[in-house]
Structure 1
């Protein structure tokens, strides 16, 4: 009988250990997900534009295909590579993260350039292309979205990995898998809700209840503003996250000046503004990171647009 009680004690201990491990994984995955929040916002802001001009009946199907591509990117490509690098060449993670940060800066600055220069995609052209060959157009849309997602997903996963670098190999693997699945579900669930919000509003506007119908009409009218705001937030998020990654990266590589200046500004604002110090200090650091991101992005955009022109001039 004593042997049975001893066995039950051992089983109970294993259960408690397993529960603690699950809690630790969940907590670590939560911390890693929060660190990647800026890129998640960007991902959620970028994706809705891929279904603009397409048949509304196909929107959810296309988003589902993009989501499947995203989870494949994270679990089958990025996760193994990130784990191998963290195990055998951890010194490469910061430079890779900085390359991703520079790309985010470029993306943000490129969108600003397109807006200022009037080079934004024409929704009418997208609708015409979709009408001519719907299946082929959908295929191109999904492929383009999955390619963009690969960069953003890599950034998310490396940021998350950086947060849990001290964990064991298998803990890192489990945590990153949890982050990959959770973030993909959140991002593409939010995207599906956003792109169908006008349909939901239209359905509500036809209800008999005057209040519900008015809410539905308001929802339909609000969606263009929501999408426009989301697009702006996405650009700001790219510049902020990209700039912050670069500042932290150069600090970790030994150049402490730029990050030190931003951190000092944050502390000055924090100490000078009393109860609002935490929020205003964070906003100061965020704004400084966005400015750095915009400057770096502008340089990359300038180089990207000048090089093709020089090649054409040399060819002539």
Structure 2
């Protein structure tokens, strides 16, 4: 099935509708607010003094300076691969989502549940960090060669989940704020991809330009492959360490799960949402207009 610009825009509209539904539930549904608060309480229980440096380091990845640095690096990679439009996509995506998330926070400020002692302000939806890290994950997938997009999506997913869980465990956001950030980033990316797809159909890139950068393209692909391999290796090592730690603390984890069922369900929903959004985008990129 071919994916057209119109199809991508329909996907963006779906993200917008989902964003509105999450917002309405988080602000005006008593049951949803109770679930949000219970899940947050479970996340807060994960905060331990020994893990605080790692959690803070993960959150820092979503700060403006690292986001800009990573975004520029991905744009340069796209340029080296002879894809100036993709480079522009990366920069515009990060710029728009950075501004829009902060603007929406101010416009959508609303009193949140106070029963959880996390100190979350009224202007928290959507999460700026969650929006930024999802935007980076999407940019990573788009900037990569086609054969490297699945592992890029896997790396992006791990980063998104790690940063998001860290945000909530320190009481910076409710889970609904994080989900709103995912949807904002994905919806914005789909709009920009629709423009990119339309431009590719109407103004195809010249083959001569591609041949002129063949050598740079080759080395850029190698750099991308090495970078992804390094990132995935680190991710596997960290995940392995967590599995070993969980094996030693099995009884405590079972007890915590029984006492915080809502937390485990919501944590799973966040991870599954990020997985589905990134998988859908990766699938879209594999199809020609």
| TM-score normalised by length of structure 2 | 0.28
- Return the index of the structure with the highest Cα Rg: 1
Between structures 1 and 2, the one with greater helix share: 1
